[in-house]
């Protein structure tokens, strides 16, 4: 609301009171409501609060929408005066009975799925038992737009489950190709695969070491905030991975990375390294 509009509302309320129809003036909450709106927009919060209280006294039970509007304006004005206790009390009073007035179990107005930083779609394996009915000795799957690779990991788990049930298919070979338009997505997925490979190489008797490796994978995959020691482990793993991507080095026998892609991946991984910050603002954390 602009200042001219606020002044117009103020004048409208004042003119009403200057009229001779005092009976109507004492029963109609509109003048006080208009005045409170003008007072709020002009920064006169104490006067606004007084006008709202006068309007609420005159508002009838049938004026539910007006009462709700006034209660909201009252809470905002009280907040501006730093009267936090009064603000809280106003909010509580205005919300009483609201849950009973609302219908239960309403369908969402918009059923379109929202975007989440941590994806919420279900991981789906891209393989099933019917694929093994074929006499072919190899299975090839191409993952386009791999993202966080959840479908890849679900597929690997499904392969293991099927092979556990039928030992005859263990001789099959798998060729899985992952691709994404974003180098950062591929670099992150590669780091996860690298850590899984290292985890597989840790002897089961070294329980503490395996637990720390699992914690690192957990925080890397789904946590927006990472403890200091885990962040240091991730930094060290990135260093080992970069060393493994240098020509002539092999990070895992089952992984093949095209030479033309190594430069992009190394550039991204190196950008993630550096001195860790100890403090973040609330905006950065969110």
Q: What is the 3-state secondary structure (H, E, C) of the chain?
A: CCHHHHHHHHHHHHHHHHCCCHHHHCCCCHHHHHHHHHHHHCCCHHHHHHHHHHHHHHCCCCCHHHHHHHHHHHHHHHHHCCCHHHHHHHHHHHHCCHHHHCCCCCCCCCCCCCCCCCCCCCCCCCCCHHHHHCCCCEEEEEEECCCCCHHHHHHHHHHHHHHHHCHHHHHCEEEEEEECCCHHHHHHHHHHHHHHHHHHCCCCCCHHHHHHHHHHHHHHHHCCCCCHHHHHHHHHHHHHHHHHHCCCCCCCCCCCCCHHHHHHHHHHHHHCCCCCCCCCCHHHHC
Per-residue pLDDT, 248: 63
Per-residue pLDDT, 26: 60
Per-residue pLDDT, 59: 79
pTM summary value: 0.55
Average pLDDT for runs of 10 along the chain of length 286: 58 60 63 88 91 86 78 91 88 67 50 54 84 77 90 91 79 88 91 93 91 92 82 91 77 83 90 73 56
Per-residue pLDDT, 176: 92
């Amino acid at each position: 609301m602009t200042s001219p509009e606020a002044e117009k509302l103020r004048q409208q309320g004042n003119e009403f009171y200057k009229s001779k129809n005092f009976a109507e003036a004492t029963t109609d909450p509109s003048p006080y409501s208009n005045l409170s709106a003008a007072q709020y927009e002009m920064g006169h919060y104490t006067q606004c609060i007084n006008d709202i209280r006068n309007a609420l006294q005159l508002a009838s039970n049938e004026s539910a929408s007006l009462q709700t509007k006034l209660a909201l304006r009252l809470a905002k004005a009280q907040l501006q005066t730093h009267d936090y206790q009064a603000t809280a009390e106003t909010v509580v009073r205005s919300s009483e009975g609201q849950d009973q007035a609302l219908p239960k179990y309403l369908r969402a107005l918009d059923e379109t799925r929202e975007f989440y930083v941590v994806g919420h779609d279900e991981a789906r394996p891209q393989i099933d038992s019917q694929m093994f009915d074929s006499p072919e000795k190899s299975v090839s799957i191409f993952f386009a737009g791999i993202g966080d690779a959840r479908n890849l990991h679900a597929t690997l788990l499904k392969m293991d489950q099927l092979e556990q049930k039928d030992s005859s298919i263990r001789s099959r070979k798998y060729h899985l190709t992952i691709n994404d338009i974003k180098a950062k997505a591929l670099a992150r997925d590669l780091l996860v695969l690298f850590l899984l490979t290292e985890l597989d190489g840790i002897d089961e008797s070294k329980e503490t070491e395996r637990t720390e490796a699992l914690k690192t994978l957990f925080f890397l995959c789904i946590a927006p905030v990472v403890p200091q020691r885990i962040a240091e482990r991730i930094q060290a793993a990135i260093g080992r991975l970069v060393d493994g991507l240098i020509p002539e080095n092999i990070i895992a026998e089952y992984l093949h990375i095209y030479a033309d892609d190594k430069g992009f991946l190394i550039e991204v991984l190196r950008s993630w390294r550096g001195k860790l910050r100890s403090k973040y603002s609330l905006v950065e954390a969110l």
